Amino acid sequence: MTNTPQTLTLIQPDDWHIHLRDNDALATTVPHACMSFNRVICMPNLVPPVKTTEQATLYRERILTALDKADIPSQRKAEFDPRMVLYLTDHTTADEIARAKVSGIVQAVKLYPAGATTNSSDGVTDILGRAGVFESMQKHGIPLLVHGEVTHHDVDIFDREKRFLDEILSVIIKNFPELRIVMEHITTRDAADFCLAQADNVGATITPQHLLFNRNHMLVGGVKPHFYCLPILKRADHQKRLLEVATSGNPKFFLGTDSAPHATHIKESACGCAGCYSAPHALPLYATAFESVGALDKLENFASRFGAKFYGLPINTSTITLVKSDMSVPEGYPYLDGKSLTPLLSGQTLAWSVQS
């Protein structure tokens, strides 16, 4: 990392957890992701989900087609590398894991407990019954990406992450001690400390919204739907602990935006939907969070080194520069057929921007 008082130049980051959606949505989401990130881990909870290596290959082709059509610099297009993920179901086989390994494009397998988040109805209902798949993943070095929440109706939504750690993830780790696991978008002190207590094959991604906000931001003065995501924002003491570990320099923790687009009219409807859209301004958001605790010098490792190291991939060679200059977050972006997509902190001003 190089910097002056007004600039911060980083090795080009990767986003180890992003939702690009599919088809017409890609015209918006792919250019936004490409302008800041080289590799992106593309979540598979489409409709229908990406369950097989063949489906992952076709999805990647659709992403690259959207990239080719985008009006962005050719260098950024050349460096953009969507890495695919299979959606784990009750019917995923060990043979499918072997095919994923051979493909060279499938980076991981995603565990969604059934009903945990957007488009997760096909998720796993018997997590501890997936032993054969976990054994194959452990054998082939394919990481398991975990949406860490139980979905029992009698468990409070603010307690679901801790219950998952105690009842599910601890058992998986005990039975498959060499399985590489990413605790996705952790939200609690419990998850941060759990990750720290595990061996080096267990890491965690942290989103910008969970570093910058807590449930007061979402609920005080009226419900603010654009802060609503799953796992849900937690208390301020959990936010503080996430900031501590993200800025600690510990390689277990790395960048994953969980940027998730929803058309504004759906996001702001009576029932709403979970997800914060941050891809176009994720790096200024992270810089804001790290600067808030005097840790800008720790941002490059978190954003550009630790994730690649965990996945066993080379560090990027290109760079990106942030400038201490006000950035006005747009009120919205064109999305799908004449609809609008409202980003996180729409209409507000950030102190950092990405240099053109």
* Residue 185, annotated as binding a ligand: yes
Residue 230, annotated as binding a ligand: yes
The answer to whether 45 is a known ligand-binding residue is yes
Mode of pairing for the β-strands spanning 7-11 and 2-4: antiparallel
Q: Does 19 belong to an annotated binding site?
A: yes
Helices (H) and strands (E) in the chain, counts: 15, 16
What residues contact 341, with CB distance under 8 A and at least 6 apart?
28, 261, 262, 263, 264, 277, 332, 333, 334, 335
Q: Does 101 belong to an annotated binding site? A: no
Q: Do 334 and 340 contact (CB within 8 A), yes or no?
A: yes
25 Cβ partners below 8 Å, 6+ apart?
Answer: 261, 335, 336
Widest distance between CA atoms in the chain: 54
- The annotation status of 110 as a binding-site residue, yes or no, is yes
Q: With CA atoms as reference, report the closest residue to 207 among 224, 222, 223, 188.
A: 188
Determine the Cα–Cα distance for residues 283 and 257; give it in Å rounded to an integer. 9
Determine whether the annotation assigns residue 21 to a binding site. Answer: yes
Residue 7: how many CB atoms within 10 A of its CB? 14
Among residues 206, 202, 182, 322, which one has the least CA distance to residue 255? 206
Instruction: Check the annotation: does 258 bind a ligand.
Output: yes
17 is in an annotated binding site: yes
Pick from 194, 159, 205: which is nearest to 17 by CA?
Answer: 205
Within 13 Å, how many C-alpha atoms sit on residue 185's CB side?
29
**Torsions phi, psi for 104 (to 5 deg):** 80, -5
Catalytic residue among 14, 15, 190, 258: 258
297, 310 contact by CB (below 8 A)? no
Q: Is 147 annotated as a binding residue?
A: yes
The reply to whether 326 belongs to the active site is: no
CA atoms of 301 and 283, how far apart (whole Å): 13
Question: Does 265 belong to an annotated binding site?
Answer: no
Residue 321: is it exposed, middle or buried by C-beta count within 10 angstroms (0-12/13-18/19+)? middle
The SS3 call for residue 107 is strand
Sort 348 into a burial class: Cβ within 10 Å, 0-12 / 13-18 / 19+. Answer: exposed
Instruction: Output the known binding site.
Output: 17, 19-21, 45, 110, 147, 185, 230, 258, 262, 274
- Residues labelled catalytic: 258
Instruction: Output the known binding site for Zn(2+).
Output: 17, 19, 110, 147, 185, 258
Instruction: Output the known binding site for substrate.
Output: 19-21, 45, 147, 230, 262, 274
